[in-house]
Amino acid sequence: MNEGLRTREGGRIDRSRGLHFSFDGRAYTGVAGDTLASALLANGVHLMGRSFKYHRPRGVLACGAEEPNALVAVRRDAARYTPNLRATQVELYEGLAAHSQNRWPSLAFDLGAVNDLLAPFIPAGFYYKTFMWPRRAWQWLYEPRIRAAAGLGRAPTEADPDRYASRYAHCDVLIVGAGPAGLAAAAAAAASGARVMLCDEQNEFGGSLLADDPRAAAAIEGRPAPQWLRETSAALGSNARVTLLPRTTAFGYFPHNLLGLNERLSDHLADPHPDLPRERQWQVRAREVVLATGAIERPLVFPGNDRPGIMLAGAARTWLNRYGVLPGTRAVVVTAHDEAYPAALELQAAGVFIASIADVRARDDGSWAARARAAGIPVLTRATVLGTGGRRRVNSILLAQLEGGEAGAQAQPCDLVLMCGGFTPSVHLFSQSRGKLCWDEGLQAFLPGTPAERVRSAGACRGVFALDAALADGAAAGAAAAREATAPARTGVCPSGAAAAAAAPPAAGGGAGFAGALPQPAGARGRAFVDWQNDVTTGDLALATREGFRSIEHIKRYTTTGMATDQGKTSNLNALGIVSCTLGKPIPEVGLTSFRMPYTPVSFGSFAGPARGELFDPVRTTPMHEWARARGAVFEDVGLWKRARYFPRGAEHMHAAVGRECLAVRNACGIFDASTLGKIEVVGKDAVTFMNRLYVNAWTGLAVGRCRYGLLLRDDGFVYDDGVVARVSENRFHVTTTTGGAPRVLAMMEDYLQTEWSDLKVWLTSTTEQWAVVAVQGPKARAVLAGLVDIDLAAAALPHMSVALGRISGVPMRLFRVSFTGELGFEVNVPADFGPAVWEALWDAGQAHDITPYGTETMHVLRAEKGYIIVGQDTDGTVTPDDAGLGWAIGKNKPDFVGKRSLERPAMTSPQRRQLVGLLTTDPQVVLEDGAQVMAQAGARAPARALGHVTSSYHSSVLGRSIALGLVAGGRARIGETLYVSVPAGDIPVQVASPVFYDPQGRRLHA
């Protein structure tokens, strides 16, 4: 062990387990139980980062989640590279490799530090005022340069190889924070038998107890505090009704007591097992929540307060007592709160020379000052700091008394400055839950006020700082939460007695501290930092108010104070204090910016969870998928479905394969998997009434055993979905929908049924997956089926648009005679598990008739040759039935149907609406592009108005030329006209035609 600043004993570390690690390529050692920050400090390294804007050298300021300076990247390999981690939260493991950020070429020598010299020219909001000329340079010069210079860390470019898990959980009481108050709350809640969850962001439970000197620690429940902590944690851990989650950050508070927790499972391990997820995101629904999130120590704002070696007093205590690290050798303490005194005394006892304590407060009668003096430490009161010296580490501090000004200032050499401005209760989650915050004048702090959820705050996060009071507060909150969570009758959205619970806490023993900038005698120089991470100074805030900003929300955005990755955990209250002082308004009138999730950054992987790769979305396959896959089908995604797009033979590309498949269907017979079509069984004695009200068509006259093309509109009159509907029996309809539309059509039907027509005796059942559907299409389709089915297939017995129930090779079947190709066609519906066998049987029977498998691309071409629309391709949510040429489908004598009233509006019947027409290029080999604009004249240039656009365009092999469908203004009246399709290469002349290109009389259909 060669860390020179490690104490010989004490702390919660294991000195016998040395760990090797590196920082910026240089090798160091630490011990088990260290964080990266504590291990670096033990090696005398304070310089851990460069600031965001001025690239100033920065050391570690705090010891926890609030750390603004020591942001590092940890690299395991090229893909496992995590930037912007707080060194104070990175647990050390053997071989850890960390890197500093925001510096080039090195942390010690950073060229970007030139910004620090330019500081007078780049104040808050400088980019709003400069770079104004030349105007165009903003896009290609200024903004890219500024963006490149800004930003912290860099994201890895490779895919994240780690696993992330998700977990839903429910409990009676969720307690956030396992400090004294949280542990007491958990123990009290668990004692009542409630289901309890307790989470804490640190690797160990204990909170503030972990920073105490165990020899000086108070007794809890008659036991030394470390023993109480050990035994309380163990008792909770052995309780089956209690879930303990260390290394787990409650990052967000969502409505109805849903909290998001991020559990870090493997980042602290040198060699994690591959089955171990890196993180697990919990979504916890808690009947009651207890927030015991503690408080964050506030820095003091004085000139030069950002040099490495200047840190929070409580952090220094933590380094000493928890990690056995001396953060310096000669210290000066600047404080506005009693808490700095025990830190000074404990560090002195450990061998750190305390040169003096500068107390900014006036009083000198406190027992702490007396104890410090008795220990030989000079104590200055009414003190302030005029400046500090040192570049990569503080080496002196200039102290003065307020009355004395610069004349009485004394420079003191030091390598450590401890500061304590008091404590800011962590009300982040309470505020996220929409609870109201109240300003407490006595504590100079915002505290939880009236809650908006079933939540209680306990301990330091509501201003109860003293240990015994916090323990009692936690126990009371835990017991009350458990009582209410398990009470038989819970009413209201807030805990009962919420107002009482929000009552003012006892006055803090150590004083309220100080919020704002330390008063400066005239002539003080140097920048005083308020927000370390975003390099916001008192000068920036003063500038913002000088320029007229009054709202704290505007000042925040103009200066960026509180907008860094730490969200101003250490800086917000000081910024408020400064603005309050400048504007002469009390802090509650200045207001408070919003607390937003996440409390600390959460990885994208945690949010994605297992939903990646194969599990990103369900991949739905049809019963016949394997057959198609084995035949080399190329698949396309349709919604969540995989559908065979075409079946290439050998090296055939799509164009050739589709051409061949089209001709096979037209000349002989094709076989097609139509299983993905949505199917809804509409059953009940009011089924026909329901269909009449919903679809545009007239259903009353549809005989049992017959089918009809059904068209569904939204209530605004535009086409929503379509599909063939069969009347299977008097009160039973077999409704088909588009593949993608199945869920939304069923939802729309249910919506109308439950909210508008609850009187109808009709029920809907999705049968999409009950049936495997094999379409057999083409002039030889009848011959293929004939030997397999027990149904008379003659045109007279089973005409186009009819349905029959029977069997195919012994399997029950609904046989539809329908066609989306324009050919004689059948769709064989069999129970899904029989799909593959029936498909094979049809395939075998088809061998004598040149049967060819075809895919969705071929289906699209065949239907376009017939002018059949595809909803969502030839319609776009603004197309009426008449626009699509489907006005014939409307039941003219029906009193009503969904969308009927909208269709009667004048705009919906205008002859100038865009109507579906065919478009034939003059050059038959030119295939138009889908979406291309149709113009009235050649050579039209923007802003010329288009007449419409191409919706579908293909090469038709049966016609030996290109075909296209398009929506064109007044299109049907333009049939025969020449229009122009505008493409980058020029204009393509097209002739407007009927949308039915093939067999317009429908002879083949009715064969």
Partner 1 sequence: MRDLSAARCLPLVSASTVLHALPPATRYVLRGGAEVRAAAESAVGCGIPARACRATLEGDRAALWLGPDEWLLIAPEPPPGGLAAGLSEALEGLAHSLVDVSHRQSALALSGPQATTLLAAGCPLDLDTSAFPVGMCTRTMLAKAEVVLWRTGPQVFRVEVWRSFVAYVSQFLGEAARGII
Binding site for partner 1 (CB under 8 A): 163, 165-170, 195, 273, 275-277, 283, 285, 610-611, 614-615, 617-623, 640-641, 681, 683-685, 761-763, 765-771, 787-788, 808-811, 831-838, 841
| SS3 state of residue 818 | coil
Instruction: Check: CB of residue 698 under 8 Å from CB of residue 894.
Output: yes
State how far the Cα of 258 lies from the Cα of 830, in Å rounded to an integer.
Answer: 45
- Closest approach of partner 1 to the CB of residue 611, in Å: 7
Indicate the residue among 400 and 772 with the shorter CB distance to partner 1. Answer: 772
Positive or negative: CA dihedral 795, 799, 804, 810: positive
- Closest approach of partner 1 to the CB of residue 165, in Å: 7
- Closest approach of partner 1 to the CB of residue 571, in Å: 37
Indicate the residue among 171 and 343 with the shorter CB distance to partner 1. Answer: 171
Indicate the residue among 450 and 767 with the shorter CB distance to partner 1. Answer: 767
State how far the Cα of 453 lies from the Cα of 719, in Å rounded to an integer.
Answer: 44
Indicate the residue among 240 and 985 with the shorter CB distance to partner 1. Answer: 240
Element (H, E) at 604: helix 604-608
State how far the Cα of 591 lies from the Cα of 439, in Å rounded to an integer.
Answer: 10
Indicate the residue among 166 and 545 with the shorter CB distance to partner 1. Answer: 166
- Closest approach of partner 1 to the CB of residue 273, in Å: 7
Q: Which two tokens stand for residue 116?
A: 């620090």
Indicate the residue among 240 and 522 with the shorter CB distance to partner 1. Answer: 240
Indicate the residue among 161 and 586 with the shorter CB distance to partner 1. Answer: 161
- Closest approach of partner 1 to the CB of residue 807, in Å: 8
- Closest approach of partner 1 to the CB of residue 258, in Å: 9
Positive or negative: CA dihedral 82, 83, 88, 92: positive
- Closest approach of partner 1 to the CB of residue 637, in Å: 13
Task: Centre a 10 Å sphere on the Cβ of residue 960 and count the other Cβ atoms it contains.
Answer: 9
DSSP 207: G
Pick left, alpha or beta for residue 609 (phi over 0 → left; psi -120 to 50 → alpha; otherwise beta). Answer: left
> CB-based contacts of 481: which residues, under 8 Å, 6+ apart?
172, 173, 185, 189, 194, 288, 289, 290, 456, 495
Strand residues in 70-125 grouped as ranges (E)? 71-75, 81-86, 96-100
- Closest approach of partner 1 to the CB of residue 624, in Å: 9
Instruction: Name the strands in the sheet holding 14-23, side by side, starting at the edge strand that comes first in the sequence.
Output: 26-32, 14-23, 96-100, 71-75, 81-86
Indicate the residue among 554 and 685 with the shorter CB distance to partner 1. Answer: 685
Which of 5, 664, 650 has its CA nearest to residue 316?
A: 5
Task: Centre a 10 Å sphere on the Cβ of residue 12 and count the other Cβ atoms it contains.
Answer: 17
**Exposed / middle / buried, residue 895 (Cβ in 10 Å: 0-12, 13-18, 19+):** exposed
- Closest approach of partner 1 to the CB of residue 40, in Å: 32
Instruction: Check: CB of residue 921 under 8 Å from CB of residue 929.
Output: no
Indicate the residue among 530 and 783 with the shorter CB distance to partner 1. Answer: 783
- Strand-pair partners of 896: none
- Closest approach of partner 1 to the CB of residue 725, in Å: 16
Indicate the residue among 448 and 835 with the shorter CB distance to partner 1. Answer: 835
- Closest approach of partner 1 to the CB of residue 277, in Å: 6
Indicate the residue among 557 and 732 with the shorter CB distance to partner 1. Answer: 732
- Closest approach of partner 1 to the CB of residue 166, in Å: 6
Indicate the residue among 578 and 838 with the shorter CB distance to partner 1. Answer: 838
- Closest approach of partner 1 to the CB of residue 770, in Å: 4
- CA distances (Å), origin 560, targets 50, 223, 276: 17, 47, 39
State how far the Cα of 307 lies from the Cα of 327, in Å rounded to an integer.
Answer: 14
- Closest approach of partner 1 to the CB of residue 685, in Å: 5
State how far the Cα of 1003 lies from the Cα of 823, in Å rounded to an integer.
Answer: 9
- Closest approach of partner 1 to the CB of residue 77, in Å: 20
- Closest approach of partner 1 to the CB of residue 610, in Å: 5
Pick left, alpha or beta for residue 67 (phi over 0 → left; psi -120 to 50 → alpha; otherwise beta). Answer: beta
State how far the Cα of 761 lies from the Cα of 896, in Å rounded to an integer.
Answer: 19
| SS3 state of residue 813 | strand
- CA distances (Å), origin 944, targets 375, 936, 969: 88, 9, 14
Indicate the residue among 370 and 747 with the shorter CB distance to partner 1. Answer: 747
Which of 270, 191, 283, 905 has its CA nearest to residue 597?
A: 283
Indicate the residue among 572 and 768 with the shorter CB distance to partner 1. Answer: 768
Question: Mutual orientation of helices 313-323 and 340-349 as an angle, nearest 10°?
Answer: 40
- Strand-pair partners of 538: none
Indicate the length of the chain as a whole number: 1007
Backbone angles phi, psi at 754, to 5 degrees: -85, -30
Angle at 282 (CA atoms; ends 276, 283), nearest 5 degrees: 155
Indicate the residue among 354 and 789 with the shorter CB distance to partner 1. Answer: 789
Which of 104, 532, 419, 458 has its CA nearest to residue 290?
A: 458
- The gap between the terminal CA atoms of the chain, to the nearest Å, is 93
Indicate the residue among 375 and 615 with the shorter CB distance to partner 1. Answer: 615
DSSP 874: T
- Closest approach of partner 1 to the CB of residue 274, in Å: 9
Q: Which two tokens stand for residue 713?
A: 């509109």
Q: Which two tokens stand for residue 660?
A: 């061949």
Indicate the residue among 802 and 829 with the shorter CB distance to partner 1. Answer: 829
